Structure 1
């Protein structure tokens, strides 16, 4: 399939596909007329990349998942290198949660000091 069809089916721009190619995440095959040609397996690669980006992974984080799929695994997360990226990302998220909880406590303390008796709303309500 050509780049436009892959982009449409994957729900991404052709620019994104060219960028993934430039970064070495998507194979660059050319037909005799110079058009980029993609296989069905490339759709799975792009879907995996997009899925990872959506939840906060970087393109570099996605590399082991893409390599895992390219090596024939049914899932990009099936390889030890991908599992390690998952673990690292969970640690990063836990650190971010911890930081946010500390900030929240600081802001709540400032509110209590600035407005004694003001009720602190919870659960994101306004």
Structure 2
């Protein structure tokens, strides 16, 4: 399927699909006329990427764990390093939450709410 159809079927803009390709998350083939075309299984890959982005993972982390993702709301085979990578991502998220809670507390204090 061409990029326009992939976009229509996934709800992801062609520009974002090209970005995913640049980041190594999608693989496109090229037709003789230079157009990108995608296999049917790319639909699942795009849905997995979107779910993992919504979980707060970076494209770098997604690129590392995507080969072990299964299903639209991915579950993971614990391939080499996947557990460690996801554990590091969880730890980084916890640190961001702690930072945001400290910032919130400070701002609430400025407003006399803390």
Distance 1:21 1:88, change over 3 A: same
Is there any run of 5+ residues in structure 1 with no aligned partner, and where?
Answer: 113-119, 122-126
Q: Which residue of 1 aligns with 2:96?
A: 96
TM-score, reference length from structure 2: 0.76
CA root-mean-square deviation? 2.4
1:64/1:76 contact within 8 Å kept: no
What's the counterpart of residue 64 of structure 1? 64
Count how many residue pairs are aligned between Structure 1 and Structure 2: 111
Deviations, residues 48-100 of structure 1 (Å, cap 9, x unaligned):
1111112321111110232335xxx5546323433323211211121122223
Aligned match of 2:19: 19
Larger Rg: 1
TM-score by length of 1: 0.70
Gaps of 5+ in 2: none
Structure 1 39/111 Cα, relative in aligned 2: closer, same or farther at 3 Å?
same
User: Structure 1 residues 106, 68: CA separation in 2 closer, same or farther (over 3 Å shift)?
Assistant: same
Q: Separation in 1 of the partners of 2:11 and 2:82?
A: 24
Structure having greater relative contact order (Cα 8 Å, sep ≥ 6): 2
